[in-house]
Every structure is written in C-alpha cells, then in structure tokens.
Amino acid sequence: MQSLLSKAQGLGSSSVKLRGGSLFMNVGKSEKQEEDFRQTPHVNINPFTPDSMFLHNSEGKCRRRKRIHWNDSCGEDMEPSDGEPEEETMRPAKRITITESNMKSRYATEFHELEKIGSGEFGSVFKCVKRLDGCIYAIKRSKKPLAGSVDEQNALREVYAHAVLGQHSHVVRYYSAWAEDDHMLIQNEYCNGGSLADAISENYRNMRYFTEPELKDLLLQVARGLKYIHSMSLVHMDIKPSNIFISRTSVPSITLEEGDDDDWSSDRVIFKIGDLGHVTRVSSPQVEEGDSRFLANEVLQENYTHLPKADIFALALTVVCAAGAEPLPTNGDQWHEIRQGKLPRLPQVLSQELLDLLKVMINPDPEKRPSAVALVKHSVLLSAAKKSAEQLRIELNAEKFKNSLLQKELKKAQMAKAAAEERALFTDRMTTRSTTQNRPSRLIGKKMNRSLSLTIY
C-alpha cells in the first residue's frame, strides 16, 4: 500500500541510490540519453517548493553539478558518502498521474465513514474516524475520475500547496493524499463548526447577522492566514465563505488547583482557510480563476502583477457576506459597481471606520489595497487583535478575581464560624461558673465551732 507521490519508480536500481531521504543519480559519461531518461525515478515536482525552480529550469537538458543535494524531510542537507563521483546529473522528474498512484482501498481499510458533511464542484467531503488513532478527519474525494483531466491538475495543486504550507492556526491542516480508482482523496483536519457559508446560511434563516466585533474577528483571523500564505510566496485565489472553515474549541472558564478538573464551558471560534485548489505562486503564476463573485477585476483582465491583493479583495467581500448582504452577483451592473469600489448594501449599521476599511480593500487600484501584513496591524482591528491575543488572559484574570472573592468569602465564613465557636465556648464557661457559685458552700472559720483536741498524759 502506497500513498500518492510517495514511491519513486525507476528501471535502473543500480543507478539510483536513496539514503536518508536524499536521492543521488550516478550516470556514466558513455551512457545514452535514452538509458538515462529511463533510469530517472518517477516522482512529482512540487512547484511551490524552492527546489522546483532549479528542476524546472533544467528541463530538456542535462546539467553537470557538483554534489547535488535534496533536503530531507527534516530540512538537513544530506552529504554523499566518500568515494562517490564528484560530478552527478539530475534530470527533471516525469509527473506521476493519478492512474499510476492507484492502490487498494486505503479509505475503507484505514477509515470508518461517519457522515457526508459537504459537497462542491470538486467532490464530496466525509467525516471519518481513523481506525488506528481514533481521531476524526475530513476526507475529500473527487466526484469523478481525474486521471488525464484538467481537474487532476487542480487536485495535485491542492496537495502541493498543503504540503508546503505545513501547519498554521488559520489554515486547514493537511495530513495525506492518495488515489483510488482514479479518484483523488485528501485527508485534512476536521473543523467541527462547518464552513463560514454554512454559518451565514444559518444566520439568514434565523434573521441575524455577524455582529461588528465578530466581523472584525473574522477579518483579522483570515488576514493572519493570508499573511502566512503570502509569506510563502503563494496566493490562494479563491477566498470566499465556503472556503473558510470554523473550528470551535472549548476554553477553561475556571482555573482550579493543579490536579483538579477544569470547568470547560466557553467556546472560542477559530477561522481557517481551506480548499487550496487554486493556489499559485506569486512569481510566474499559473492562475486558475476562482468564483467570479469574489474575483478582482485585474485578475479577469489577466493582470497578475498584484496577485496577493486579489485575495484581499475577496476577503472584503467575504466579510460583507457575513455582515448580511444579499448574495453577490456573478455579473451585470452590480458586479461592475463593486469593482468600482462600491460596497453592497448591508442590512445592519456598521461603524464608519470598518466600512472605510472594507472600501479600501476593494479599491479598483490593487496597489491601494492594504496587504495582509498591514491588515493584521490595522487600527480598526486593533481591538479585535487585543481581544484575540488576550482573550484567555482576560478570562483567566476574571476567574482569578472571582476566585479571590470566593476565597475572601470563605475566609469570612471561617472567621465567623471560629467566632461563633468561641462565643459558644465562652457561654459554656460562664454557665459552668454560674452553676458553681450558686452551690451551698461550707465555710471554714467565722462562727464555726472549733474542735479542740486534748492529749492527756
């Protein structure tokens, strides 16, 4: 059983050496080009890693390099052993198709399906328990066979992006991916709060909206996720409510002594960016346009010079949707009005400072939109930033204050009890003394006849 992209397939095992995660190829000067190509291991090149730039640039020709090294999974450079040739040749790898990665049903073997939790253009998402560790995961499965289709590239793109981005608190975590019957399956973190689109639909049914503090918190958290993605020289290109997921975690409301159980009561909402099927590099991008309702006009015009600002544009409209705006248009006059910097009508009153921030985020000139770095430091979101950064500390201090009051009350009760016991003891003593004084006493002396003893010799 093998996972997608995990096995390097080569014909000439004698010419391929795998040690500690590094791959070295020894090619003699007299070998033919065809023989060299057949001996190249079949592994996919992740276009989002720095190493991919060299590998792509070397396509179509062999280059002599001094000791070519691939970083292993721990990020350490692996050195070749003594006695290996100084000059080694690396060829770009042939892309593995999904057909080449097929295997027996790992999904049925390793996971127990609980329920279907979502469906989209790409496929369906299932809530599953992994049989080995007992933890819950979200497994995304493509609706139709992907091998050889355009959707295959998007599926691989999502896997590549997840693998490079690693773990961040505001990006859905990726665990693994594989193929079964030409279908792609991706194992991701399970977010127990569903998607932001689900929450917006629920609010619409209940005639309520995200409040302004909630909107600021949403904007801040997603901006932090975008800041991380952009720092990796990547752009999401499909930010929208259905691609923002909610994780609800309980936080302790009361801090007790060490060893005691905490009272877990209050929920904390964490927003995470998911669905990375449209991710591309900032430099030399291969743009796959996302949802037209959230698409910046410059991307439609194939102007890719400010791609990170397209994510900012989509984020602003995502917040507008959460604020209760009517469904955004896919085209038409209103679509163009939004691209001219006009916000859709909102059913609730928001502060002018927040409205101004949203307006600048959809500015027709992408250069005038704030970056994700600027957003997380913006004065409008400062209160939300402080709240999210100090939320637990504030709650902890509040509970400490409550505990302090309880301790004072307990001390008062103990003192009152001690005073009552002291009063009861004093009363008992007084009662005992009074009883003793009222008893008839035999006096010695005074008016008492003295006895006289005489001894007669």
Pick out the residues of the known binding site for Mg(2+): 243, 275
Quickly count: other Cβ atoms within 10 Å of residue 279's Cβ.
25
Query: Would strands 64-66 and 22-25 be described as parallel, antiparallel, or unpaired?
Result: unpaired
Positive or negative: CA dihedral 213, 214, 219, 225: positive
Count Cβ atoms within 10 A of the Cβ of residue 251 and give its class: 0-12 exposed, 13-18 middle, 19 or more buried.
middle
3-state percent helix, strand, coil for the chain, nearest multiple of 5: 40, 20, 40
- Cα separation, 311 vs 162, in Å, equals 17
CB 119 within 8 A of CB 132: no
CB 38 within 8 A of CB 12: yes
Q: Which residue numbers belong to the known binding site?
A: 117-125, 140, 243, 275
- Cα separation, 256 vs 253, in Å, equals 10
**Per the residue annotation, which of 238, 291, 356, 365 is the catalytic one?**
238
- Cα separation, 81 vs 316, in Å, equals 54
408: which strand partners?
A: none
Interhelix angle 382-437/212-231, rounded to 10 degrees, is 120
- Cα separation, 334 vs 66, in Å, equals 59
Please list, residue by residue across 288-310, b when 16 or more beta carbons sit within 10 angstroms of its beta carbon and e when fewer do. eebbebbbbbbbeeeebebbbbb
Strands (E), 351-455: none
* C-alpha distance across the termini of the chain, in Å: 130
Per the annotation, the verdict on 238 as an active-site residue is yes
* Element (DSSP H or E) covering residue 280: strand 280-281
Q: Which residue numbers belong to the known binding site for ATP?
A: 117-125, 140
CB 254 within 8 A of CB 399: yes
Quickly count: other Cβ atoms within 10 Å of residue 144's Cβ.
10
CB 128 within 8 A of CB 186: no
Q: Which residues are catalytic?
A: 238
